[in-house]
Amino acid sequence: MNTIFCLFILFFVIVFVIYSYRMIPEPPIVLKADAAGIGLMAFNLGRHGTLSMASVGTSGLENITPTSYREPGYPAVLALAMLLSPSLRNLPQGNFVSEDVSFQVPSKSPSYMEMLILLFAALISMCVVLRFTKSRLLSIAVLFGVGFSPALLLNIRHFLTENLTALLILAASIALMLSVRDERKRYYLLSGILFGMLTLTKATFQLAWPLLLGFMILYLYKKKVPLKKGGVFLVIFLVSYFAVVSPWMLRNYSHFNRAFIAERGGSVLMVRANYSMMNSKEYLAHFLLWTPTVFAQKLKDRYFNDEEISRLYRSNPDGYRNRARALRRELIEKYNDSAKADSVLTSMAVKQLVTHPIRHLLTCIPIAWKGIFVEMEAYPGLYGNNLSPLISLVLFGGFFSLTVYSIVKGNWEYLAFFFLANYLFIMHVLFTHNIPRYNIPLIPVLWIGSITILWLLASSLFNKLGKISRFEKGKNSLETVNPEGPK
């Protein structure tokens, strides 16, 4: 490896560690909303061996009942980080929870785990770009782009699932790419295991395995892989995948009479179904409301008043989002079973979407636009408020361009690598309200896709210029040999 290249990597690691460490707030780190629930699950798992969101008082834990509200992947990793921390392992529970605080982390040590996850994601992204482009300069650009992504850096202190999901998407995508490139059993085994871990961290992927299986079958057919050999590959993938996810699904079946990954699907789908009922003003305002620029907000204020688009606001109790949440609470009270309530809510949402299919498809356009701005909450001083939306647009533009290129060229290696990222974004557009945070896990893959398509375009341009140059040289040499032409 080139010495200068290694020095750049070392420089990045040093700067990253210093910068990210300074972002960690002084303990106790109070967690809110989704993060508080994740913290409770991690705490209860580490202390009591149960993934539970039970409310806790300083005097003791009460009613430690299992939960299926969230995926187990990230809470398990956070619980491990707490157990490995000497400063947290034996602390009384009052240091974590109280009547005033849902959950707090009384030490910086779990944040070090988040730093490590992001560092690995950046280094792996660099290696992938080096594999795709053979360019050390471009791989260093991706290293810094991913490592200093404002959205990913902010998660170091928020304790949400995004960074771990980003790392697992990278790992599973690499395994899938190796599966189609080298056609070896161990890569199909690794793909199944990593994809299973990803599903247990991001339940959206639980519906991806049939599509992924179809993709593999199509690849094996196109490449004329012998039927027996291809069948073995597929069986290895499926067995390894279900070996990872089945224990959790069986656990949920034993407690909630339904085999599933997480029960939030109904609430999320109902929010999406509500958004499909937007009127024309809300539809147009949606684009401006979620475009994180001063100019867009001025346009929104000029052409729409808050009263006529109030249902778009998350703070409105009668808004599209809160209406779905209120309905979920009503169903929980009715059935006294959160899993049953989620199942009923899912059925209601599906019925509403099926009743208005055209509305649903049309709503995909503003919903997709909303989710593109992954860096909309950029860390002040890193990119700048005006540059962050542009970076988000460039990243997604490059990513989608490479996807189209891969399909047109039939590049199976690229198609395999970008399969999971495309799946996740499409699922968010179709079945969620697709807030930008949902797509933060795509940031490493977005950087890889954007840099790779840039390299492909530059290489194509240079090749054409080289051909023109060689043609001109050949033409000039002919004219030199016989400047007056044939006689």
Confidence grade of residue 29 (pLDDT, cut at 50, 70, 90) = confident
pLDDT tens digits, 61-82: 556 888 888 999 999 999 999 9
DSSP 106-119: -SSHHHHHHHHHHH
Rounded mean pLDDT, 31-36: 86
| Domain ranges within the chain, ordered by starting residue | 27-107, 256-454
Quick one: pLDDT at residue 477?
Answer: 55
Rg (CA), the chain: 25
Cα separation, 462 vs 458, whole angstroms: 6
Q: What are phi and psi of 29, to 5 degrees?
A: -90, 105
Quick one: pLDDT at residue 224?
Answer: 93
Q: Give the angle 127-122-408 at the CA atoms, nearest 5°.
A: 55
**Nearest in space to 400 (alpha carbons), one of 383, 414, 410:** 414
Cα separation, 152 vs 292, whole angstroms: 18
Cα separation, 194 vs 169, whole angstroms: 8
- The residue type at 57: G
Quick one: pLDDT at residue 476?
Answer: 57
Q: Give Cα separations from 67 to 43, 296, 486 (angstroms).
A: 13, 41, 89
Q: Which of 131-145, 320-334, 433-447 has the lowest mean pLDDT?
A: 320-334
Confidence grade of residue 392 (pLDDT, cut at 50, 70, 90) = very high
Task: Catalogue the E-assigned strands of 73-159.
Answer: 103-105
Q: Is the pLDDT of residue 269 over 90?
A: yes
Q: What is the percent of the chain with per-residue pLDDT over 70, rounded to a whole number?
A: 90
Cα separation, 32 vs 162, whole angstroms: 16
Rounded mean pLDDT, 182-207: 96
Q: Give Cα separations from 276 to 263, 281, 345, 352, 403 (angstroms).
A: 22, 13, 16, 9, 27
Reduce the DSSP state of residue 159 to 3 states and report it.
coil
Any residues with CB less than 8 A from the CB of 290 and at least 6 apart, and which?
366, 369, 370, 373, 436
Strand partners, 31: 103
Rounded mean pLDDT, 388-412: 94
pTM reported for the whole predicted model: 0.92
Pairing of strands 60-61, 56-57: antiparallel
What is the signed CA dihedral for 142, 148, 150, 156, rounded to 10 degrees?
A: 120
Long-range contacts of 124-131 (CB under 8 A, 24+ apart): 124/167, 124/170, 124/171, 124/174, 124/444, 125/170, 125/444, 125/447, 125/448, 126/9, 128/170, 128/174, 128/417, 128/448, 129/447, 129/448, 129/451, 129/452
Specify burial of residue 337 (Cβ count, 10 A radius: 0-12, 13-18, 19+).
Answer: middle
**Nearest in space to 455 (alpha carbons), one of 133, 125, 140:** 133
Q: What are phi and psi of 378, to 5 degrees?
A: -60, 145
Strand partners, 103: 31
Q: Helix 209-222 vs helix 419-431: angle between axes, to the nearest 10 degrees?
A: 140
Quick one: pLDDT at residue 474?
Answer: 57
Q: Give Cα separations from 113 to 32, 176, 273, 473 (angstroms).
A: 19, 26, 37, 58
Quick one: pLDDT at residue 94?
Answer: 75
Task: Catalogue the E-assigned strands of 24-165.
Answer: 29-31, 56-57, 60-61, 103-105
